[in-house]
Amino acid sequence: MGSKRLQRNDPALCEAVLQKVELEASQFIPIYKEIHQHPELPSFEVATASTIANHLERLSFQIHSSIGGHGLVGVLLNGEGPSVLLRAELDALPVEERTGLDYASTKRMLDENGEEQPVMHACGHDLHMAAVLGAAASLVAIKQFWSGRLIVLFQPNEEYVAGAKLMVEDGLWTRISPPDLMLAQHAGKLKSGFVGISGGAVLPASHNIHLRLSSSGPAQNPQICGDLVSKACALTLQLREKVKSAKGANQYATLICRRFHSESMFVHPPNSVDMAFELRTANNAVAVELLDLIKRVVVEECESTTSPKLTVTSRVEIRAPMTENKAEFADPLAMTFKYHFRERFYSPAMDPAVEDFALLGPDIPYLYWRFGATDQARWDEAESLGEVDEKIPGPHSPFFAPEIEISLKSGIEAMVLGFLTFTSIRDDVRLISHNDR
């Protein structure tokens, strides 16, 4: 790696090179629809990976497949210069599509537990893949204007926040040398054509907290054992309120109960209750403080209950780190985006979703941004009525149906501009750009 090799190219120069691209975004709509109609669950992305590999082979990329499951990487060497990676996700969700589109998914497949599930690209990963393929084709078409190494990475199992780690553990960076910079984007609930990037925290960190609350009282004697489930419910509400009041007015933090389970027959109450929580934070110091607070509250609750005595076992694990754009990389790209997208550029606030993108390379610089995928007329109507939240479906909804042409065009352009901002551009193109000002 060598982030010092990265360029900070002038926005006008990047625009001049982008204008050399003669490919139309509409050429990649069939690819998008093909991927959308044939989604696959996390860890089962066999056909999707094969489809992607076929397209990359036509573009003369060197293919590295079956990394961390069905992950794959394409590498294009184009002379000396920086190495920049474009990333997309392969997997879909166990959601039954209800969009009514003529290319809607009707796919069903077995999950990791052998249970049949409906499958839908309800999170925009199909759009991400088509955009990266479009960007790759565009950069190949204008490779005489830049030099360096282009890497495209298609990650499996993002939805369960596992694929990035699996790829690294499977030797990703021994199969290819690490890039100088990684780029990723996400489509979402925003008017199509809009693209936004901000510095700082863009997605929160996530910690999983597993608790087992147990009673020393014999379950056969409910008058001794007490109502353990009610105590666990009260503790759950108490923890949520404690986190809410302790996080600070200007700090993002939320505690979500993800699992609450007790096994018992009707003849007697349970001896134990299992609970799982997810803590999302946008500040590492706040995460440490809140995890300590949760531990103290649980211990104090157990110690204050003596008839019968309660005990707790706990386990905390990091689900995903915070996704944070460093200003030294975000600022130049924001300038490029603003130059090209103009009034369609914006500075997004932090999104509450969780990503494992940063786990691809803890020591590799990266940038992550958002682009809109909602039909413009539909957005304008909902916005005029003040009903965006009610009328516009977002990711993970069975009604999530991205507008294709404008969304795909902006997604492709954003990826191409991201690459051009940091790669090496030929001197003769620089001269043309300077003379056009």
Output the CA–CA distances (angstroms, integers) from residue 287 to 143, 212, 243, in the order listed: 45, 21, 10
Lowest mean pLDDT: which of 216-230, 362-376, 419-433?
A: 216-230
More confident residue, 433 or 237: 237
Residues 14 and 153 in one domain: yes
User: Cβ(425)–Cβ(148) under 8 Å?
Assistant: no
For the chain, the domain total comes to 2
Residue at which a domain ends, from 320, 354, 374: 320
Residue 37 sits in the same domain as residue 139? yes
Q: What is the mean pLDDT of residues 302-310?
A: 75
Specify whether 404 is located in the same domain as 333.
yes
Q: Which pLDDT belongs to residue 307? A: 59
Q: Identify the helix (H) or strand (E) that includes residue 246.
A: helix 228-246
pTM: 0.93
Q: pLDDT tens digit string along 374-428? A: 999 999 999 999 999 999 999 999 999 999 999 999 999 999 999 999 999 987 7
- Using alpha carbons, select from 199, 202, 195 the residue that is nearest to residue 415: 195
CATH number at residue 364: 3.40.630.10
Measured CA distances, 368 to 47, 332, 405 (Å): 27, 13, 22
Higher pLDDT pick, 30 / 229:
30
Say if residue 191 is in the same domain as residue 298: no
Q: Say yes or no: 98 and 195 in one domain.
A: yes
| Pair (104, 51) in one structural domain | yes
Give me the CATH number covering residue 251.
Answer: 3.30.70.360
Helix (H, G, I), strand (E, B) or coil at 321: coil
Cα 114 from Cα 131, distance rounded (Å): 32
Given a cut of 80, is residue 277 above it in pLDDT? yes
251 and 112 fall within a common domain: no
Give the helix ranges, DSSP H, for 10-124: 11-18, 29-37, 46-58
Same domain, 48 and 160: yes
Residue (of 430, 374, 376, 381) closest to 397 by Cα position: 374
**Is pLDDT of 305 > 60?**
yes
The helix/strand/coil state of 189 is strand
Contact present, 392 and 189 (Cβ < 8 Å): yes
Structural domain span for residue 80: 3-203+322-435
pLDDT-derived band of residue 75, with 50, 70 and 90 as boundaries? very high
Same domain, 25 and 170: yes
For 155-197, write each residue's pLDDT tens digit.
999 999 999 999 999 999 999 999 999 999 999 999 999 999 9
Does residue 181 sit in the same domain as residue 276? no
Regarding whether 345 and 212 lie in a shared domain, the answer is no
Tokens coding 351:
């999104």
**Residue 210 and residue 197 share a domain:** no
Query: Rounded distance, CA 204 to CA 197, Å?
Result: 15
- Quote the pLDDT of residue 265: 63
Domain boundary among 277, 293, 320: 320
The residue from 320, 348, 376 where one domain ends is 320
Grade residue 215 by pLDDT with cuts at 50, 70 and 90.
confident
